[in-house]
Amino acid sequence: MLTTTLHEDLRQGVRQLCDRYPVSYWRELDGREAYPEAFVEAMTKAGHLGALIPEEYGGGGLGVTEASIILEEVNRSGGNAGVCHAQMYIMGTILRHGSDAQKREYLPKIAIGELRLQSFGVTEPDAGSDTLSISTSAVRKGDKYVVNGQKIWNSRTQYSDLMLLLVRTTPLSEVKRRTEGLSVLLVDLRQAVGHGLTIQPIKTMMTHFTNHLFFDDMEVPVENLIGQEGMGFRYILDGMNAERILIAAESIGDGDWFVEKATNYAKERVVFGRPIGQNQGVQFPIARAHVNLRAADLMRFRAAEMFDAGQPCGAEANMAKLLGSEASWEAANACVQTFGGFGFAREFDVERKFRETRLYQVAPISTNLILAFVGQNVLGMPRSY
């Protein structure tokens, strides 16, 4: 992947923006479990969160390659792009499958930040990663869908105006194929909360603003159906590759932050009369983490290049996410080990980033499910699930 002037300009622009929100900003917010409102506003005004929206709808008209660079730089600066990254890719379902009226209504407002679409309702307590087994139902009654059920691990719902919601419009027992009967609804959270939708925050290891959602006869206008009824699973699937690639980039940004942090400390920290980085036991884990990050980086750019070219890239996107998340976790452990006890002190920010980067081996898809995908769909071995 050749670095272009656009890419360098993007990196410099994001770095300059992030300089206004140093690690102390993120540390203070993490301590209060507070949403980074000022940072999200700045990213929106700079056009970064509308990067993937076409220019005709007021967005940046950029590709996943460029979007991945933006998010990488946020995490590379010591920040956390996970607080707003979904604003980039969730809208892809509307862009690819929404009606012309829906695109004109929502995309320009999302691009300029008038509306936030950061919440994605798919996972359920009983279904987990088995998406086809979800049971949240939407029954059409006149010009409304009436929704009942639950969703879990929904991030940023209380900071969003809109949510994409995957529901079952035809019971599983009545479809010929399990992939049928699922639909996507665009929920206006400003109207839904307190009127059929209850948000219950979940305390987690990292500040990710995660929730358990309960739907009790929540009404959604029929015109908020995205695409065709019953085709929602396909709509959701074709947006997942972009998500995988962007998460890979965030992981790589984290990893590079850890490597730089550990390298600098290893040069400066003197024990027994010499820098600890002079010891191979300290030096080699950091160097290996750097090597693995560069390999993951190549796969990230390969997957993004294929995505932007309209080529099938499911394998590459999943492998990029796996390699990125594992390389960042390796770097995180090397960094903590290098800092020793200071790695657990909040003032150094290592423990915060350590918690944040651990998420990506579990979400938005676990490492084991990626390996199952590769084993079954790339290598042709028997299905394990």
Q: Residue 140: inside a domain, yes or no?
A: yes
Is the domain of 280 the same as that of 174? no
Identify whether residues 214 and 275 lie together within a single domain: no
Residues 6+ apart with CB under 8 A from 131: 122, 123, 166, 233, 236
CATH number, domain of 352, equals 1.20.140.10
User: What CATH number did the domain enclosing 21 receive?
Assistant: 1.10.540.10
On whether residue 355 sits in a domain, the answer given is yes
Kindly state whether residues 328 and 201 are assigned to the same domain: no
Within a domain: residue 136?
A: yes
Name 115's bridge partners: none
Residues 71 and 147 in one domain: no
- State how far the Cα of 220 lies from the Cα of 187, in Å rounded to an integer: 6
Could you tell me if 10 and 70 are in contact, meaning their C-beta atoms sit under 8 angstroms apart?
A: yes
Return the structure tokens found at 185.
Answer: 């609804």
> Quick check: 148 and 216 in contact, CB under 8 A?
yes
Domain boundary among 78, 94, 112: 112
Please report the pLDDT score of residue 367 as a whole number: 96
Verify that 239 and 353 share a domain, yes or no.
Answer: yes
Structure-block tokens of residue 195: 């009127």
Residues 101 and 132 in one domain: no
Q: Show the low-confidence residues of the chain (pLDDT under 70).
A: 1-2
Residue 207 confidence (pLDDT): 87
Does residue 195 lie within any of the structural domains? yes
Asked whether residue 252 falls in the same domain as residue 174, the answer is: no
Burial 12-39 (b: 16+ CB within 10 A, else e): eebeebbeebebebbbebbeeeebbeeb
Could you tell me how many helices (H) and strands (E) the chain has, helices first?
13, 10
Which of these three, 112, 127, 144, is where a domain ends? 112
Whether a cis peptide bond, with omega within 30° of 0, leads into 364 is: yes
* Strands 225-226, 137-141: pairing kind: unpaired
Q: Report if residue 383 sits inside a domain.
A: no
- DSSP of 15-44: HHHHHTS-HHHHHHHHHHT---HHHHHHHH
Domain shared by 206 and 98, yes or no: no
Beta bridge partner(s), residue 144? 141, 221
pLDDT at 2 (0 to 100): 61
Give the pLDDT of residue 138.
98
Q: Which two tokens stand for residue 309?
A: 């070219």
pLDDT at residue 1, rounded to an integer: 60
DSSP summary character for residue 208: -
105 and 33 in a single domain? The answer is yes
Asked if residues 331 and 255 have their Cβ atoms less than 8 Å apart, the reply is: yes
Q: Which one of 95, 112, 129 terminates a domain? A: 112
For residue 261, the one-letter residue type is K
Q: Which of 84, 9, 20, 6 is nearest to 49 (CA)?
A: 84
Q: Quick check: helix, strand or coil at residue 99?
A: coil
Domain that holds residue 147: 118-230
Question: What's the number of domains the chain is made of?
Answer: 3
